[in-house]
Amino acid sequence: MLESMRKFMQVGLVHFMAYPQTTKGVGIEEAIRKTCQDDYFDAIEITWIEDPEVRGRVKKLLDSSRLTVAFGGQPMLLATGSNLNDLDEARRQAAVTLMKQGVDQAYEMGAVAFGFLAGRYAEETKEEAYQALVQSTKELCAYAAAHGNLKLALEVFDYDLDKRSLIGPAPLAKRFAEEITQEHDNFGLMVDLSHIPMIHETIADSLETLKDYIIHAHMGNTVIKDPSLEAYGDTHPRFGFPHSENDVEELGEYLRKLLEIGFLNEHNRPIVSFEVKPWGAEDPDVVIANAKRTLNLAWAKLQR
């Protein structure tokens, strides 16, 4: 019997990716209002809003929308070049301080989850960087726990292609999550369909390896066949983009595996968000509509 996807997950939108102009402070309130009015979505992922007046108005929109709110700290790290596994202690601490500011704003905006990413991967300093990331993450988990019930999710990125993030390959991500969760129960991993082929892993192998620690998921696409191709790298083009890796079949496989490992479930519906970005002059609203249609088709293929 085919059942509604909403029985098993909260469909979300990574808002700052779908409307990239908002990361520069342009049109934030108007764009978020669109998502608040769209009942396809159960959740929204926002990021840092520097203007306190805009932040206050957005908070009122979110409070009245019945959307579950998550907060993305990733843009804060990427835009500033901050690195939570920096081997320079002063720079590492600066990155931790930045993420604490993000946690504060996440609480202010009523978020239930906070995403972030590891800094750069370098084979020759991998173990030292890993230990620095452990220290930073434990500091953040303790800080978040002291102020409320926010869940922290480290997003698994590529390690050798675009973001070149330490976490990184699934076995290392599993080791990391095992270590953090021994002390902190407010931590888990975020997986992203667009990143799995970039890490040179299969959907099944990646999700099976990480299944005990996944608390958040993204749905997206990537182009990695040739660096000369449009939208090459971690650019999150729409589903079905020319020469890309993910479309209806791959999204269906991803959802099927998330169901199989118990991440998608009826009792504690997790956030599963589109992370798609307009390429060039594409219309953000059309790209979002593309994602909805792709998910509808992918879910329709799942016969339980």
Model confidence pLDDT, tens digit, residues 118-127 = 999 999 999 9
Neighbouring C-beta atoms of residue 249, cutoff 10 Å? 11
Helix (H) or strand (E) holding 151: strand 151-155
Taking each helix axis as running N to C, give the angle between helix 89-108 and helix 52-65, from 0 to 180 degrees, rounded to the nearest 10.
Answer: 50
Amino acid 1: pLDDT: 45
Amino acid 303: pLDDT: 66
Per-residue pLDDT of 241-260, as tens digits, reads: 999 999 999 999 999 999 99
Domain count for the chain, please give it.
1
With 50 as the cut, is the pLDDT of residue 191 above it? yes
CATH of the domain at 55: 3.20.20.150
Q: What mean pLDDT do residues 212-222 have?
A: 98
pLDDT band at 2 (very low <50, low <70, confident <90, very high): low
For 201-231, letters b (16+ CB in 10 Å) and e give: bebeebbeebbebbbbbbbbbbbbeeeeeeb
Amino acid 24: pLDDT: 85
Tokens in use for 241? 């983009």
Residues with Cβ within 8 Å of 235's Cβ and at least 6 positions away in sequence, in order, are 222, 223, 277, 279
Domain that holds residue 206: 5-300
Tokens in use for 82? 């901050």
Share of the chain above pLDDT 70, in %: 99
Q: What mean pLDDT do residues 213-223 have?
A: 98
With 80 as the cut, is the pLDDT of residue 237 above it? yes
Per-residue pLDDT of 76-101, as tens digits, reads: 999 999 999 999 999 999 999 999 99
Quote the mean pLDDT of the chain. 96
